[in-house]
Amino acid sequence: MTHADDVAPVSPAGPVGPRTGNGGLTRRRVGAMLLGAGAGGLLSGLPAASAPASDVTRFVDFEWVDPARGRAVPARLYWPGASARKGPVPLIVFSHGLGGSRTGYSYLGEAWSAQGTASLHIQHVGSDQTLWQGNPILLLDRLDSAADEREAIERTHDVSFGLDQLLQRGNPFHAAIDRKRIVAAGHSYGANTTLILTGAQVVRDGKLLGFRDPRFSASIVISAPPFYGETDLAAVLASVDVPTLHVTTTEDTIRIPGRYSPVQDRLDVYAAIPTQQKALVVFQGGSHSVFTDRSLRNGGPLNPLVKRATAEVGLAFLDLVHRSAPVPLEEWGATWKPILAAAPTPFPVAAQLANHKRRA
């Protein structure tokens, strides 16, 4: 039903127990340093990284456990500083790729929260970093189990449960979150999770199998693999009707033991989404794992630029969806044109979404 990712092992999660921390937004300055050092003619026309809205990023780790499933659901919340918050806080709930963790994709959590949008990163214990641990001979077995349909379903429950926990009255952040601007996002296997949460479904034993969470008003789908075992992708995605941003690259090929997925699969997923409220970003170059926290050894000087551009396009997309404002997305396309193979085109926003204006 879903595909495995080629994410390399990442640093383990933090110590057990709720924990807060601050992290400098140094990744936002990497692009500028590379350009200053002469990263190449293609990249030299891009602007240097701008100063972040806040010098520090606040994050909080949660050690949640879903009692109904007896399953741990660790999570990390990136929360905007006071200077970045303007009224109720929008929220992006992020699902990692195979072998990842809540500490991964930190550049997204840092950049989004610096601009006033909270980011909750869920860790999926059945398909997280522990896959890379243990006997290497059994790696294929662990990958098969993690990519199994049952784990795909558990991942959706993880996300919904994590959102439940964050929004419950006992959570200190619940009152500040804007319920009308909650967005699902994910990379690779996490992109599949995101699509299921926003309407994707399959038929099993004559019954439709879906786990949609109606609280999500839009989705950000990065490097979406096909739904393995399904021959009719259009039928699988027929009920996805929220605005969706798709992000990929011209070299976004998935290669892990026993699995292969070409770039065309990413484009096919985009094409099969039935709504016209969708946008596609294709970077010129950059591997499947360029969207993870892996750095210069994966993509050279292009790597930090793709990361920064991905974080920025996510926010520009949400300006279109929640504020009916196409200009940020248009300006993003013009700014990042030197590294784009395809730029997103703004689309008309449904009336019910356009009414969800960002409060000043």
Strands 71-79 and 118-122: antiparallel
SS3 sequence of 108-122: HHHHHHHCCCEEEEE
Rounded to a whole number of angstroms, the CA Rg of the chain reads 19
Distance CA 260, CA 237 (A): 21
Q: How many CB atoms neighbour CB 69 within 10 A? A: 12
What's the one-letter identity of residue 3?
Answer: H
Per-residue pLDDT, 260? 81
Distance CA 258, CA 35 (A): 38
Indicate if the pLDDT at residue 40 is higher than 60: no
If you write DSSP's letter for every residue of 119-152 in order, what string do you get?
EEEE--TTSBGGGGSS-GGGHHHHHHHHTSHHHH
If you write DSSP's letter for every residue of 187-248 in order, what string do you get?
ETHHHHHHHHHTT-EEEETTEEEE---TT--EEEEESPPP-TT-S-HHHHTTT--S-EEEEE
Per-residue pLDDT, 208? 73
201 φ, ψ to 5°? -155, 155
Mean pLDDT of 284-303: 82
What does the pLDDT look like over 68-106, one tens digit per residue?
A: 999 999 999 999 998 888 899 999 999 998 878 889 999
Q: Which contiguous run of DSSP H or E holds residue 259?
A: strand 259-261
Per-residue pLDDT, 83? 85
The answer to whether 77 and 166 have CB atoms below 8 angstroms apart is yes
Greater model confidence, 5 or 208: 208
Alpha carbon 278 to chain centroid, angstroms: 16
Per-residue pLDDT, 140? 58
Eight-class DSSP state of 178: E
Of the chain, the percentage scoring pLDDT greater than 70 comes to 71
pLDDT interval class at 7 (50, 70, 90): very low
Indicate if the pLDDT at residue 30 is higher than 80: no
Distance CA 177, CA 359 (A): 12
End-to-end CA distance of the chain: 42
Contacts of 352 (CB under 8 A, 6+ apart): none
Dihedral through CA 84, CA 85, CA 86, CA 87, nearest 10? 180
pLDDT interval class at 38 (50, 70, 90): very low
Q: Which two tokens mark 316?
A: 């520009």
Helices (H) and strands (E) in the chain, counts: 11, 14
Burial 224-251 (b: 16+ CB within 10 A, else e): bbbbeeeeebeebbeebebbbbbbbbee
Mean pLDDT of 156-160: 95
Indicate if the pLDDT at residue 358 is higher than 60: no
Greater model confidence, 351 or 350: 350
Greater model confidence, 82 or 37: 82
The answer to whether 62 and 75 have CB atoms below 8 angstroms apart is yes
Where is average pLDDT lowest: 20-24, 190-194, 346-350?
20-24
Q: Which single residue is written with the structure tokens 């499947």?
A: 288
Average pLDDT, the chain: 80
The answer to whether 335 and 160 have CB atoms below 8 angstroms apart is no
The answer to whether 290 and 306 have CB atoms below 8 angstroms apart is yes
Indicate if the pLDDT at residue 196 is higher than 50: yes
Pick from 213, 218, 158, 166: nearest CA to 190 = 158
Distance CA 316, CA 124 (A): 28
Indicate if the pLDDT at residue 233 is higher than 70: yes
Distance CA 263, CA 243 (A): 22
Provide the sign of the torsion angle of the four alpha carbons 217, 218, 224, 229, taken in this order. Answer: positive
Distance CA 212, CA 197 (A): 4
Strand order in the sheet with 89-95: 19-24, 56-66, 71-79, 118-122, 89-95, 177-187, 218-222, 244-251, 278-287, 340-342
Greater model confidence, 51 or 201: 201
pLDDT interval class at 327 (50, 70, 90): very high
